[in-house]
């Protein structure tokens, strides 16, 4: 197995975690450089806190290795790791004042009184709470309480500070102030910060490196600029910032077809005529007269956002978002120009444009032309099809043949919604059942990370024998 890299303070190798038979971390690998501000970013339930708990020693992985400063630390209890944690709920001692809260850990370690006094003083200066020593923590604002929690966590000089959504309880204004203060504290103390959040703006503002997670895997690791400008897939593009994400076809190197129009781009190596996802940021679309652009559309909505106008434009049956300092009027026909560099090409997250499964026919009725099939843990009837009992049938379904059973009665139950991405015309939804992934097209906004019953419209399906047996 690969070892930890030398200049890394924390390395995770092939970490796998399962709770109640459900995969929470699916073989993740992560290297964190010393003195870096690293943010783990992702939607609720994707495994961010679990990753932090593994690093902190609060949870042992099912398999995989954890390295700290080059040494394997699997099994080492939290108090023996040179790591401290700040949680969203600061867990300060309400009956103690600021000084005593910050001094608590050092008193347990029985450090000399003078040293405790000196270190608390230094730390309170760093978190901008000089002079607050005697103040009861209950009489502090949320932001001040959070700074006491950070001072308490840093005063024993850990090499790594883990922060789990520490600003989540603060209002927006205070959160913004604390974001820049946290970055300053990290730089002043020269400590590695590993910060967990689902707020993309927070991640982009503070971090040296952003780790984007989704559904127990790491989708991308990069600087804030890299994950924003060069997202590796539609999930990252959608999660970080606003984006127009559209289906396209890479015709050949440096040439992509979007909505029937060929556009020059800079990407290579996708092959010929390959279906791809395209991302174009709203601020990268230049509004020009219709005759000057290949993509033309009609403005359907204009909203003033302070610095720019946000315009919704319908083009080729797709909805586009444009941010521009020029204001167009609803009903205007406009040209949309994008320089090749700003057309980002990504591999599709779902490799095919259709769904396919093989099921066994457990009963069949030639007169009624009806079969009963078993798939995963379910059995269901399919009308207007006949195959002999016992045969294996391959079923192919287009994405619009899948839906979420509104009445709760699906063909397969408990299917997990992994991602929902608006593709200009429809939402493209990726779901996961016990044995496979599914691609669904829907006009409804579904909730990610929920379990739903999935229904198939077999009138839109094609059927064929999966084994060398003849259809009758
Ligand atoms: P959030 O932003 O909501 O805190 P997260 O990305 O930090 O989410 P985790 O807390 O790591 O997510 O949880 C990942 C998944 O693991 C969730 O589905 C959660 O319900 C599940 N989970 C976490 N801890 C346990 C546990 N002790 N037992 C069972 N399931 C758990």
pLDDT digits (tens, 9 = 90+) for 247-269: 999 999 999 999 999 999 999 99
Q: Determine the pLDDT at residue 1.
A: 47
* Separation between Cα atoms, residue 29 and residue 220, nearest integer Å: 11
Is any atom of ligand 1 closer than 6 Å to the C-beta of 49?
A: yes
Summary count for the chain: helices (H), strands (E):
8, 30
pLDDT of residue 227: 95
Return d(Cα 108, Cα 270) in angstroms, integer: 59
Residue appearing with tokens 């944690």: 85
Nearest atom of ligand 1 to the alpha carbon of 53: 11
Ligand 1 site, residue 20, Cβ cutoff 6 A: yes
Position 126 scores a pLDDT of: 87
Q: Is 25 in the pocket of ligand 1 (CB under 6 A)?
A: no
- CA 424 from centre of chain: 20
Q: What is the pLDDT of residue 4?
A: 54
Fold of domain 8-229? Rossmann fold (3.40.50)
pLDDT at 172: 81
**pLDDT on residue 454:** 96
53 lines ligand 1 (CB under 6 A): no
Q: Do 287 and 334 contact (CB within 8 A), yes or no? A: yes
State the first-to-last Cα distance of the chain, in angstroms, to the nearest integer.
53
Q: What span, in angstroms and rounded, lies between the C-alpha atoms of 309 and 41?
A: 28
Does the beta carbon of 45 lie inside 6 Å of ligand 1? Answer: yes
Distance 19 CA to ligand 1 centre (A): 9
CA of 424 to the centre of ligand 1 (A): 32
Q: For ligand 1, atom 2, name the residue with the nearest CA.
A: 44
**Does the domain spanning 234-346 belong to CATH 3.40.140.10?**
no
Q: pLDDT value at position 306?
A: 86
Counting as low any pLDDT under 50, the low residues of the chain are 1-2, 469-472
C-alpha of residue 208 to centroid of ligand 1, in Å: 25
Q: Whose CA is nearest to atom 17 of ligand 1?
A: 45
Q: Whose alpha carbon is nearest atom 11 of ligand 1? A: 47
pLDDT digits (tens, 9 = 90+) for 60-70: 999 999 999 99
Instruction: Kindly write down the DSSP assignment for every residue of 394-449, as one continuous string.
Output: EEEE-GGGEEE-TTS--SEEEEEEEEEEE-SSSEEEEEE-SS-EEEEEESS-PPTT
Nearest CA to ligand 1 atom 15: 45
Pocket test for ligand 1, best of 18, 39, 47 (most atoms within 8 A of CB): 47
pLDDT given at position 468: 55
The pLDDT assigned to 29 comes to 97
Q: Burial of 407 by CB count in 10 Å (0-12 exposed, 13-18 middle, 19+ buried)?
A: exposed
Kindly state if the Cβ of 93 falls inside 6 Å of ligand 1: no
| Radius of gyration of the CA atoms of the chain, in A | 27
User: From the alpha carbon of 52, which atom of ligand 1 is closest?
Assistant: 11
Instruction: Give the β-pairing of 392-397 and 462-465.
Output: antiparallel
* CA dist 168 → 85, 139, 165, 202 (Å): 15, 20, 5, 11
Ligand 1 pocket mutation pick from 25, 26, 50 by most atoms within 8 angstroms of CB: 50
The pTM of the full predicted model, rounded to 2 decimals, is 0.85
Quickly list H helices, 220-281.
224-229, 234-239
Angle at Cα 139 formed by Cα 86 and Cα 170, nearest 5°? 45
Asked whether 455 and 402 are in contact (CB, 8 A), the reply is yes
CB of 198 shorter than 6 A to ligand 1: yes
| SS3 label, residue 23 | strand
Give backbone dihedrals phi and psi of 56, rounded to 5 degrees, phi first: -75, -15
Question: Is residue 28 within a helix (H) or strand (E), and if so which, with residue range?
Answer: strand 22-33
Domain boundaries, the chain: 8-229, 234-346, 355-465
């Amino acid at each position: 197995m690969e070892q930890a890299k030398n200049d890394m303070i924390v390395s995770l190798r092939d970490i796998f975690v399962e709770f109640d038979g459900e995969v929470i971390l699916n073989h993740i690998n992560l290297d964190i450089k010393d003195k870096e501000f690293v943010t783990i970013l992702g939607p609720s339930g994707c495994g961010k806190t679990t990753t932090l708990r593994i690093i902190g020693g609060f949870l042992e992985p099912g398999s995989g290795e954890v390295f700290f400063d080059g040494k394997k630390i699997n099994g080492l209890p939290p108090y023996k790791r040179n790591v401290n944690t700040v949680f969203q709920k600061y867990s300060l001692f309400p009956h103690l004042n600021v000084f005593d809260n910050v001094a608590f850990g050092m008193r347990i370690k029985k450090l000399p009184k003078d040293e405790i006094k000196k270190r608390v003083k230094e730390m309170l200066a760093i978190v901008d709470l000089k002079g607050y020593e005697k103040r009861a923590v209950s009489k502090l604002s949320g932001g001040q309480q959070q700074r006491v929690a950070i001072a308490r966590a840093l005063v024993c000089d850990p090499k790594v500070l883990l922060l789990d959504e520490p600003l989540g309880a603060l209002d927006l204004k205070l959160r913004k102030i604390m974001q820049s203060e946290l970055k300053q504290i990290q730089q002043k103390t020269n400590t590695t910060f590993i910060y967990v959040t689902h707020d993309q703006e927070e991640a982009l503002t503070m971090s040296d490196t952003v780790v984007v997670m989704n559904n127990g895997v790491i989708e991308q690791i990069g600087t804030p600029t890299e994950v924003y400008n060069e997202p590796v897939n539609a999930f990252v593009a959608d999660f970080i910032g606003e984006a127009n994400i559209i289906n396209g076809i890479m015709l050949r190197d440096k040439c992509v077809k979007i909505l029937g129009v060929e556009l020059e781009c800079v990407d290579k190596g996708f092959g010929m005529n390959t279906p791809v996802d395209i991302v174009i940021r709203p601020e990268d679309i230049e509004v020009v007269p219709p005759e000057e652009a290949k993509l033309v559309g009609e403005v359907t909505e204009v909203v003033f956002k302070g610095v720019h106008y946000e315009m919704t434009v319908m083009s080729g049956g797709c909805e586009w978002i444009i941010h521009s300092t020029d204001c167009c009027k609803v009903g205007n026909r406009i040209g949309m120009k994008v320089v090749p560099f700003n057309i980002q090409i990504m591999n599709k997250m779902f490799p095919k444009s259709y769904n396919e499964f093989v099921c066994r026919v457990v009963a069949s009725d030639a007169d009624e032309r009806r079969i009963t099939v078993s798939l995963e843990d379910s059995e269901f009837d399919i009308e207007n099809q006949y195959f002999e009992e016992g045969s294996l049938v391959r079923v192919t379904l287009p994405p619009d043949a899948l839906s979420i059973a509104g009445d709760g009665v699906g063909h397969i139950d408990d299917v997990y919604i992994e991602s929902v991405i608006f593709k200009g015309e429809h939402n493209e939804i990726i779901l996961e059942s016990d044995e496979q992934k599914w691609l669904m097209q829907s006009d409804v906004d579904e909730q990610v990370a929920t379990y739903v019953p999935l229904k198939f419209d077999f009138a839109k399906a094609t059927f064929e024998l999966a084994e060398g047996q003849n259809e009758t």
